[in-house]
Structure 1
């Protein structure tokens, strides 16, 4: 996933989270927040060599 695609995904999850807070769906909000945190902090790491 490219950085541009990741930024779009995080933005879409953020907007969906705001809308679910407004509608009162707090369980969905927590799941979206977890997705936002995961995709915004996930980094490509190189595997460690033995």
Structure 2
């Protein structure tokens, strides 16, 4: 499974659970931010 598959699976689970963004940072925001940082720092997006 690559990061894109992970993100899609994760966001599906979040959507199915009727997750609402908290006032501060929640686990979903933190997790997606970490994934975005991994992608950015490792130049995993095509240019």
Please report the TM-score for the alignment, with normalisation by the length of structure 2: 0.49
Larger radius of gyration: 1
Greater helix share, structure number = 1
